[in-house]
Structure 1
Amino acid sequence: MAKNKNINYKGPYGYQKLKEREPRACIRFKCALTNTILDVLRQRPGWVEVKEEGEWDFYWCDVRWLQENFDHTYMDEHVRISHFRNHYELTRKNYIVKNLKRFRKQLEREAGKLEAMKCDFFPKTFEMPSEYHLFVEEFRKNPGITWIMKPDGVRCDDQKDEIPVENYVAQRYIENPYLIGGRKFDLRVYVLVMSYIPLKAWLYRDGFARFSNTRFTLNSIDDHYVHLTNVAVQKTAPDYDPEKGCKWMIQQFRLFLTAKHGAEAVEILFAEMDNIFIKSLQSVQKVIISDKHCFELYGYDILIDQDLKPWLLEVNASPSLTASSQEDYELKTRLLEDTLNIVDMEGRLTGKEKRVGGFDLIWNDGPVSRADGNLDTPMNGFVANTHLGYNNDRKKQLKQLFKSVQTQQKN
């Protein structure tokens, strides 16, 4: 792919001189999706869309392209694509179960049982049919427990799962979910991984709670409007109110919990969610092919039970970027703009940033202290380091960030 000259980049916060790197007159992008990400890419200053056969510097690809083309495509140093080659180690249910079990045993050997117990955030799951006998044994020991069958290929919100579904998993159903207004919900949280070796992960401050449309009961386990929280499902409910919707911003959710349970309990809960993000990524760190051209924006789905314990339901390699409302569109636009800011095709960052827009660096080959300078405070065995659900004053932060970076580059 061609190499061009350095330029002065006109960004949303003024002119910024690009760092010296493989210089390009513009950033050529391709996008396999036709939703919010395409809007963001087309509106980004200095970025130019190319057609199917054109050369590109950045590709927001789908998993099919990755499977069919990655190993046969030459990429210059600066080129970036939006998935790791074997992302399914984290995003397929049968694989993540195996990886978490293996990682838990490793932690128990190396750090003891207390550390290993920090991996107990995934509902008990058996791969079918290979673990059928283990499932039957567990079922007989606990005959009153509700189990659900799921395809082992994770649902992709905006893309079809290109890996054929041949197996299923039997997973213990969380029968005591935390309810708000009598309704079940889960949380969608965004984690951006720039590298697995070393592990470098960012957590987005915004996210949302997705509610079911019908009050929770175990008497109708097959009622999708009771037990599922997908917006695509809930908006088909006969009594769905599109003006009211079925989402809360995660800031609203955090305030609700704080008012009801107190700040300390909520801080512990959110620290435990941090633990889920880090431990799940560490569990696949040695098996993910960490190519320097790759990054990944994951959508984590978290369920909270009545004891304020968070459970990991699944990790999505293709979280929905299709907006269900104006508020949803604005959230996803901010999320994607900040993802591109961290991928940093323009070469504006120093690499030492702890916060970029709405993203906070939560792991950089080790835990990262809060950007405000406070030391990490262990709470209930976990490190409270999260900014999830905090005020996202991203415009102010980005202005200060790029002004600071520009000053450093001049000096």
Structure 2
Amino acid sequence: FAQFCEIMGSLETQFKCDLAPADHTPSATQQALSAMGARGAGLYGVFIRGVIDKMSGAEQEPEQGVPRPLSEPQDVYATRYYKVVQNRTEVYDIVTQVFHKMDGWEELPHGLGLANVWNLCWTWSKPKLDYSRLCTWQKVNHFPENKHLTRKDCLKRSIDKYTRTGGKLAQYFMVCPRTFVLPKEYCLFIECFARIDEENEEVAAGGEAASAAQAAPPPNGSVAKAGVKPAKKKAANLWIMKPAGSSRGRGIQVVDDVGSVHYGELTIIQQYISNPFLLGGFKWDMRTYVTVTSFSPLEAFIYRDGFARFTTVPFTT
């Protein structure tokens, strides 16, 4: 396997060197390398087939001097091999069902010691492999360091870095509520909480003064105004807490007092949106799926069908 990768790597390097200067445009280079990768993947399929045939027939050696035939002939570009890490049965079942409906894909046999000789490795969690040692025709369903987009604390830091660069695109993130990572940004959170509390008190005090003025006895000879507005109540200072590495609503709580902020792990605390857009009085969100196949260059596909999720009880504060 190591010799095979070394040979293919040297061929790819030589191929890059042989490109004419006129062919060094991004599109031409990408097309050429894709063709090279396809050819390498095809040869790799033949290589794996030979290894599988040899290892699966090790216990059934043919008679002396009689060569053991390989399995049915395969087109050099016909077969790819996938591996599903079986730490979740439901994931293994779904992925294998999909591949069973596709031509040109076979599951890598188990128990032959072929841990890393696959074209595609599908895992539920972070794969335990060295990305730098992958061949060009080997794909994994996780990008390295993708936690910077998927973990709540890392996503918050990524958005902060992006908005600090300024520019028009940074304005798109101004819709994000105030967010802090605890415990690192606990002091910043306390300052923000106190500031919002003071602002809410000032608004409530202003409302009380206006109501008192409306309710005061009218001067002599004047007519009292009808419809005195009630005094404004102080708005609740609501924050929502979520464990940074959790999902599916686990560990979420809403607090309105600093004394209620308790956590035993890395936590995100975010100002709660108290006036959300409702449908029929219910909170809701939209779930859209995107598949990213490359970050350099960026290539992503949006699944056209999505769905909306609604709460089971009307929204109240």
Under a length normalisation based on structure 2, what TM-score does the superposition of the two structures give? 0.54
> What is the aligned counterpart of 2:170 among 107, 116, 124?
116
Distance 1:61 1:149 in 2: 29
Q: Which residue number corresponds to residue 206 of structure 1? A: 305
State the Cα distance separating 1:34 from its structure 2 match.
2.8
Cα distance 1:166–1:35, how it changes in 2: closer, same or farther (>3 A)?
A: farther
Paired residues of 1:88 and 1:95 also in contact (CA < 8 A)? yes
Q: Which residue number corresponds to residue 96 of structure 2? A: 38
Matched positions, count: 189
State the Cα distance separating 1:192 from its structure 2 match.
1.6
State the Cα distance separating 1:156 from its structure 2 match.
7.2
State the Cα distance separating 1:182 from its structure 2 match.
2.2
Paired residues of 1:91 and 1:154 also in contact (CA < 8 A)? no
One-letter code aligned to 1:83: H
Q: Which residue number corresponds to residue 129 of structure 1? A: 183
> What is the aligned counterpart of 1:148 among 220, 240, 245?
240
Q: Which residue number corresponds to residue 21 of structure 1? A: 39
Paired residues of 1:70 and 1:85 also in contact (CA < 8 A)? no
Distance 2:138 2:175 in 1: 36
State the Cα distance separating 1:88 from its structure 2 match.
0.4
Extract structure 1 runs of 4+ deviating beyond 4 A.
none
- The within-5 A match list for 1:297-312 is none
Distance 1:212 1:156 in 2: 14
- The within-5 A match list for 1:3-402 is 21-22=39-40, 23=42, 24=45, 25-32=78-85, 33-52=91-110, 53-54=113-114, 55-64=117-126, 66=127, 68-71=128-131, 74-106=133-165, 108=166, 111=167, 114-143=168-197, 144-155=236-247, 166-218=265-317
State the Cα distance separating 1:140 from its structure 2 match.
0.9
Distance 2:125 2:287 in 1: 21
Secondary structure at 2:103's aligned position in 1? coil
Cα distance 1:201–1:154, how it changes in 2: closer, same or farther (>3 A)?
A: farther
One-letter code aligned to 2:164: K
One-letter code aligned to 1:85: P
One-letter code aligned to 2:182: M
Secondary structure at 1:21's aligned position in 2? helix
Q: Which residue number corresponds to residue 388 of structure 1? A: none
Secondary structure at 1:48's aligned position in 2? strand
State the Cα distance separating 1:147 from its structure 2 match.
0.4
Q: 23-32 vs 144-153, which deviates more? A: 23-32
Distance 2:276 2:92 in 1: 35
Distance 1:35 1:121 in 2: 40
Ranges in structure 1 where 5+ consecutive residues have no aligned partner? 4-17, 158-164, 219-411
Cα distance 1:192–1:156, how it changes in 2: closer, same or farther (>3 A)?
A: farther
Cα distance 1:41–1:104, how it changes in 2: closer, same or farther (>3 A)?
A: same
Q: 204-213 vs 129-138, which deviates more? A: 204-213
Paired residues of 1:151 and 1:168 also in contact (CA < 8 A)? yes
**Bigger Rg, which one:** 2
Q: Which residue number corresponds to residue 53 of structure 2? A: none
| Cα RMSD after superposing both structures | 2.6
One-letter code aligned to 2:163: R
One-letter code aligned to 2:277: Y
Distance 1:181 1:34 in 2: 39
Q: Which has the higher helix share?
A: 2
Q: Which residue number corresponds to residue 253 of structure 2? A: none
Under a length normalisation based on structure 1, what TM-score does the superposition of the two structures give? 0.42
Secondary structure at 1:94's aligned position in 2? helix
Secondary structure at 1:78's aligned position in 2? coil
CA deviation map 1:96-132 (0-9, x unaligned): 11111111111x2xx3xx4431222332210001111
Secondary structure at 1:217's aligned position in 2? coil
Cα distance 1:115–1:80, how it changes in 2: closer, same or farther (>3 A)?
A: closer
Q: Which has the higher strand share?
A: 1
Secondary structure at 1:36's aligned position in 2? helix
Secondary structure at 1:117's aligned position in 2? helix
Paired residues of 1:182 and 1:215 also in contact (CA < 8 A)? yes
One-letter code aligned to 2:96: L
Q: Which residue number corresponds to residue 218 of structure 2? A: none
One-letter code aligned to 1:43: K
